[in-house]
Amino acid sequence: MRVLGIDPGLTRCGVGVVEGVAGRPLTMLGVGVVRTPADAELGDRLVAVEQGIEAWLDEYAPGYVAVERVFAQHNVRTVMGTAQASAVAMLCAARRGIPVALHTPSEVKAAVTGSGRAEKAQVGAMVTRLLRLDAPPRPADAADALALAICHIWRAPAQNRLQQAVAAHRTQGTARVPGTSRNPTTSRTAGTPAPSSTSATPRTSGAADTPRISRTLKGPAA
């Protein structure tokens, strides 16, 4: 599995490609950032982000793209720029038919470090250890992008099993014919009377259940 992790941002958009499967050592194929000048027009900056991500998609041809899910922050301007860069990343992937997964920062931290409240330095240190790097990637946005890719590789098998189970449940539900009984042994043809609780053997009217013993009455002895 080859995953392109994207830590969205307008000034620095972190990107990192990781290859491998869950339970085995992972390999980093590339890491870096897509930069845009802060004094440029918003539209031009978004175009620059798009061109940078397209270049990474062309070079590494990932099978999946993992993007950090954007959450509201106190700085509205910052979160707006992050959301716009995130939308560009998802657009680039969707245009090529590449599946996109969104992971929250706490999910990524928990997957990589074991704690959803880990600091950026801890995330960088664990990424360095897991990918067997000589030093933590710089800047931190690049390390976060690798952490996103690692998180998706480790979480994808469980997510796929869950999606398959949900799909199978829906398929079974639609396969039933409306109006039919779930228990075939209790179904009856419409209009057929229900069986009586009495015995099915006909009984002759007036016949006694126990045969009578006939006796001849004799008069008194002479």
Per DSSP, the residues of 163-193 read HHHHHHHHHHHHHSPTT--S-GGG---TTPP
**pLDDT, position 169:** 80
Q: pTM (2 decimals)?
A: 0.73
**pLDDT, position 75:** 74
Beta strands 12-19; 2-7: pairing state = antiparallel
Sheet hosting strand 27-35, strand order edge to edge: 27-35, 12-19, 2-7, 64-68, 100-103
Dihedral angle sign, alpha carbons of residues 129, 130, 136, 141: negative
Annotated catalytic residue: which of 41, 58, 59, 68? 68
pLDDT tens, residue by residue, 39-64: 999 999 999 999 999 999 999 999 99
**pLDDT, position 170:** 80
Q: Of 55, 66, 79, give the one whose Cα is nearest residue 146.
A: 66
Is 7 marked active-site? yes
Question: Which CA distances in Å does 83 have to 71, 92, 120?
Answer: 9, 14, 20
Q: Of 50, 12, 11, 46, give the one whose Cα is nearest residue 32.
A: 12
| CA 75 distance to own-chain centroid | 31
Interior/surface letters 13-33, b for 16+ CB within 10 angstroms, e for the rest: bbbbbbbbeeeeebebeebbb
Annotated catalytic residue: which of 50, 59, 141, 144? 141
CA distance 57 to 59: 6
CA distance 44 to 72: 24
**pLDDT, position 203:** 46
**pLDDT, position 189:** 45
Is 144 marked active-site? no
- Per-residue pLDDT for 111 more than 60? yes
Is 141 marked active-site? yes
- Per-residue pLDDT for 219 more than 50? no
- On average, the pLDDT of the chain sits at 83
**pLDDT, position 215:** 43
Q: Two tokens at 118?
A: 């880990």
**pLDDT, position 129:** 97
Give the lowest-confidence range in 7-16, 147-156, 177-186: 177-186
**pLDDT, position 77:** 78
**pLDDT, position 78:** 82
Share of the chain above pLDDT 90, in %: 64
CA distance 16 to 133: 13
pLDDT confidence tier of residue 172, bands split at 50, 70 and 90: confident
Annotated catalytic residue: which of 7, 41, 44, 54? 7
DSSP H helices in 22-115: 42-60, 76-95, 105-113
pLDDT tens, residue by residue, 113-161: 999 999 999 999 999 999 999 999 999 999 999 999 999 999 886 665 6
- The angle subtended at Cα 93 by Cα 25 and Cα 108, nearest 5°, is 45
